[in-house]
A and B are shown apart, each in its own frame.
Chain A
Amino acid sequence: MTSPVVDLAVETKDEEASPRKEKMVLIASSGDLDKAWPVLILATTGAAYGMEVTVFFTFWGLGILKRRDAGITGDDWRQKMLSMFNRGTTEHLKLSKLNFGGMGPKMMKDLADKHKVASVQELLEVAQEMGVKLWPCQMTMDLMGLSREDLIDGLDAPAGAGSAISLMKQAEISLFI
């Protein structure tokens, strides 16, 4: 996998040949359901506008990209504890308020099913189909002891703040969620 910084350099050369696509960057730093949802709704809609969309998953947001069968992750005991209390994946995201010990997200998902609102998992799959780039934060991976194998397939190479800033300097829309 090439690094995102190299990719950006290659893109500039391609832009001379074809019209430049507008760029959108979303920084997904929250692992809450009510943040993951709008991140993916905005990402897929940005892609529907023909924009080149990148979502940078950092800190709690990285948990959204955990594989459902990852189990307990990490090397030291703090990282393992973190993985137990922060299960993540698209299935175990809490609400930022009215979580009610887990009842909140369950009720919210039931409402979503009833009103045919696409789930976070569905939106993530649609995003990947539409070519939305998903960048896992390398620093968060190191901090929380999450390896590439603990995360889902279809992700870009792990990136850092340097790549994120570089991309945001070029993007028409940048959002921190």
Chain B
Amino acid sequence: MADHTVDARGLQCPMPVIKLSQAIMTAQPGETVELISTDRGSCSDVPAWAADMGHALEEQFEIDNEFHFVLVRS
């Protein structure tokens, strides 16, 4: 269970990354943040954003057309 969860289901680009960026600022370094998105674009957007921002993308998986991303706040 991640320390923080961002439910961006039903939201389209750019909102999943926007919400994630806002949420990750409230997390402490080392805490995990999970984003749940139904926007297929997130599959490329989130890894790109995480890599650029220096947050490790620990897990990425899909359940029932919902995309999950677990990041560690750097």
Residues in chain A within 8 A of chain B (CB atoms): 41, 44-45, 47-50, 115-118, 123, 126, 130
Among residues of A, the one whose C-beta sits closest to the C-beta of B16 is A48
Check B12 against A117 for contact (C-beta < 8 Å): yes
15 contacts between A and B (CB under 8 A): A41-B14, A45-B14, A47-B21, A48-B17, A48-B18, A48-B20, A48-B21, A48-B49, A50-B21, A50-B53, A115-B12, A118-B11, A118-B12, A118-B14, A126-B18
Taking CB atoms, residues of chain B closer than 8 Å to A44 are: 14, 18
Complex Cα–Cα for A116 and B12 (A) = 6
A49 touching B12 in the complex, CB below 8 Å, given contacts A44-B18, A126-B18, A130-B18: no
Q: Is B52 an interface residue (CB 8 A)?
A: yes
Taking CB atoms, residues of chain B closer than 8 Å to A130 are: 18, 22
The CB with the most chain A CB atoms within 10 A, among B15, B17, B52, is that of B15
Taking CB atoms, residues of chain A closer than 8 Å to B13 are: 41, 117
Complex Cα–Cα for A47 and B21 (A) = 9
Q: Is B10 an interface residue (CB 8 A)?
A: yes
B residues 39-56 touching A (CB-CB < 8 Å): 49, 52-53
Shortest Cβ gap from B74 to chain A (Å): 12
Complex Cα–Cα for A45 and B18 (A) = 6
Check A118 against B15 for contact (C-beta < 8 Å): yes
Shortest Cβ gap from A34 to chain B (Å): 15
Taking CB atoms, residues of chain A closer than 8 Å to B53 are: 49-50
Q: Which of A49, A117, A126 contacts B52 (CB 8 A)?
A: A49
Check B11 against A49 for contact (C-beta < 8 Å): no
Taking CB atoms, residues of chain B closer than 8 Å to A41 are: 13-14
Among residues of A, the one whose C-beta sits closest to the C-beta of B12 is A117
Shortest Cβ gap from B25 to chain A (Å): 9
Complex Cα–Cα for A123 and B18 (A) = 10
Shortest Cβ gap from B33 to chain A (Å): 14
Check B18 against A49 for contact (C-beta < 8 Å): no
Q: Which of A45, A115, A116, A117 contacts B17 (CB 8 A)?
A: A45
